[in-house]
Homo-oligomer: A and B are copies of this chain.
Amino acid sequence: MDLSQLTDRINSALATLQYGQQPVALYEPIRYIMALGGKRIRPLLTLLGAHIFTDDLEPALKPALATEVFHNFTLLHDDLMDQAPLRRGKATVHEKWNPNVAILSGDVMLVRAYELFLGVQAELLAYVLGRFSQTAAEVCEGQQWDMNFETETDVSIQQYLDMIRLKTAVLLGFALELGALLGGASRADADHLRQFGVGIGVAFQLRDDLLDVYGDAATFGKRVGGDIVSDKKTYLLLMAQAQATNTQRAVLGQHIGQPVIDPEAKVQAIRAIYNELEIRPQTEALINEYFLDALQHLERVAAPESRKKPLHQLALQLLEREQ
């Protein structure tokens, strides 16, 4: 399993998808956002999940694309809700066209995502679509919690972990479960792969929180400290708020929810508190916990180690771990 060959295969298949022609304002934004690229992690997970159980990946290809179309649908609507100007360095759909086009193109993308499942064998289709629908609703729930948290002052660490699980991790879990089911896995094995994917997904999001504060600006791809400047309630901030001394709490209070005069000074002040409280090693420990728990689910899947190895490797890559 060469991951870059598999990604090429996914991108070739994505390039052949027909979303529709007329009206242009409905379908052009779909082609636009799908062409912005990305790592295509979700279809990759589906194909790797299938490959554990079968060498014939063809039946899994279109449903694999469904997870990518769905993911991009959520990006399109989330960018509108978050009023984000850019996506992968290009104008977002609501900026390039307008908000109504973003709403309606997104709606059609969700329909097209469902259509991509319809070639699934009849005896699996209802189960697969039931799992997909539950996942899709959970992703919406995660986005709603995320928006709620922006204005809530009292977000618990457990609430935050639940939010990132719903918003990000469950779709990674479903992508793997889908591949397993299409590859002929038992439902028990498919569920272990799902739980593996959910665990990796939460760990991945926690690592993203960490990189925002401690990442190398050159390789991170986003402005370091962006979460801090915007008062985003990340795992790091919630942990710091929970563990702060009175002095540290006063410093946090001077910055959080206040107008930002000097962003760099704000980032330095908050990062200093994170350092004093050892938030970084605590976060790394939690990432490790999720990772090891996820691996246990992968181990329980009834398949030879050699078939599971590419997935293990991808998880390591996603978390940028050596082993």
- Given A110-B110, A115-B133; A26-B141 close (CB under 8 Å): yes
Q: Is the CB of B104 within 8 A of A133?
A: no
Q: Is the CB of B111 within 8 A of A133?
A: yes
A136 within 8 A of B: yes
Question: How distant is the Cα of A21 from the Cα of B110 in the complex, in angstroms?
Answer: 22
A140 within 8 A of B: yes
Please give the distance in Å from A254's CB to the nearest CB on chain B.
30
Please give the distance in Å from A140's CB to the nearest CB on chain B.
5
Report whether over half of chain A's contact residues are helix, strand or loop; otherwise say mixed. Answer: helix
Q: Is the CB of B20 within 8 A of A107?
A: no
Q: Which of A128-142 contact B (CB under 8 A)?
A: 129-130, 133, 136-137, 140-141
Question: How distant is the Cα of A229 from the Cα of B119 in the complex, in angstroms?
Answer: 49
A15 within 8 A of B: no
Q: Which B residues touch A80, using CB under 8 A?
A: 103
Please give the distance in Å from A21's CB to the nearest CB on chain B.
10
Question: How distant is the Cα of A287 from the Cα of B123 in the complex, in angstroms?
Answer: 44
Report which of B118, B129, B144 forms a contact with A104, defined as CB distance below 8 A: B144
Q: Is the CB of B114 within 8 A of A129?
A: yes
Q: Is the CB of A118 within 8 A of B130?
A: yes
Number of chain copies forming the complex = 2
- Given A77-B107, A148-B25; A114-B141 close (CB under 8 Å): no
Q: Is the CB of A143 within 8 A of B77?
A: no
Q: Which B residues touch A259, using CB under 8 A?
A: none
A218 within 8 A of B: no
Q: Which of A96-114 contact B (CB under 8 A)?
A: 99-101, 103-104, 106-108, 110-112, 114
Encoded as 1 (CB less than 8 Å from any B CB) or 0, chain A from 144 to 184 comes to 11011000000000000000000000000000000000000
Q: Is the CB of B118 within 8 A of A126?
A: yes
- Given A22-B141, A108-B140, A140-B108; A103-B125 close (CB under 8 Å): no
Question: How distant is the Cα of A147 from the Cα of B98 in the complex, in angstroms?
Answer: 12
Question: How distant is the Cα of A140 from the Cα of B73 in the complex, in angstroms?
Answer: 15
Residues of A near any B CB (own CB < 8 A): 20, 22-23, 25-26, 77, 80-81, 99-101, 103-104, 106-108, 110-112, 114-115, 118-120, 122-123, 125-126, 129-130, 133, 136-137, 140-141, 143-145, 147-148
Further 19 A-B residue pairs, CB within 8 A, beyond A25-B144, A107-B107, A118-B133: A23-B144, A23-B145, A23-B148, A25-B148, A26-B140, A26-B141, A77-B103, A77-B104, A99-B99, A111-B136, A111-B137, A112-B137, A115-B129, A115-B133, A118-B129, A122-B125, A122-B126, A125-B126, A129-B129
